[in-house]
Amino acid sequence: MNAETQTLLQAVEAHGGSLQVEGSDLVVEAPQPLPDDLVARLRAAKPELLRTLTSATWDRDDWAAFYDERAAVLEHDHELPRGEAEAHAWEMTIIEWLRQNPEPAHRSDICAYCGDRMTDVDGVPVLRSGGGHTWLHSACWRDWYDGRRQMAEAALDEMQTNSKKGLIQ
């Protein structure tokens, strides 16, 4: 979360309001209409706010519950050995993290990975936060995806949801 995002969330709170994410929309709930200048700043910071609010909605317990539930279903309903069930569940947790933490929005005429110009022939679309998609060179996709996975694993590791650490029963 950057400084402006934090300031805005506090400002909304100071007005007795709260921000909710509904799909790709930011919804303000407040007892009275917020001042125009605050609304304008919220609008300007919308992509970052969506990203912050979406990633903040799941804490460590939520991720652990997501992982546990999937591991249990795979082991008991699909009768996979525990180790295999855990490996699949971990994979599903990473994919869910990637879904909840999409690529930030930016210009559509440059590659989200290397920053060089896109040409018509070699683009791969990827979802970005706030809805819609952004573009990558097809040659950049693999490295981009590996980097995103590393981000997911690092974030989930930090929340200690990784079964390899034995923190999930």
Residue ranges that bind Zn ion, judged by CB under 5 A: 111, 113-114, 137, 140
Residues whose CB falls within 8 Å of the CB of residue 152, separated by 6 or more in sequence, listed in order:
94, 97, 98, 101
Indicate the SS3 state at residue 17: coil
Closest to Zn ion by CB, 128 or 137: 137
Closest to Zn ion by CB, 56 or 114: 114
Residue nearest to Zn ion (CB): 111
Closest to Zn ion by CB, 50 or 124: 124
**Spacing of C-alpha 71 from chain mean position:** 22
Alpha-carbon distance of 89 to 75, in angstroms, equals: 10
CB of 85 to Zn ion, least distance (A): 37
Residue type, position 99, single letter: R
- Listed in sequence order, the DSSP H helices in 57-127 are 60-76, 82-100
Other C-beta atoms closer than 10 Å to the C-beta of 169 total 6
CB of 102 to Zn ion, least distance (A): 18
Closest to Zn ion by CB, 39 or 114: 114
CB of 116 to Zn ion, least distance (A): 5
CB of 128 to Zn ion, least distance (A): 15
CB of 152 to Zn ion, least distance (A): 20
Closest to Zn ion by CB, 65 or 114: 114
Which residue has 């679309």 as its token pair? 125
Residue type, position 135, single letter: W
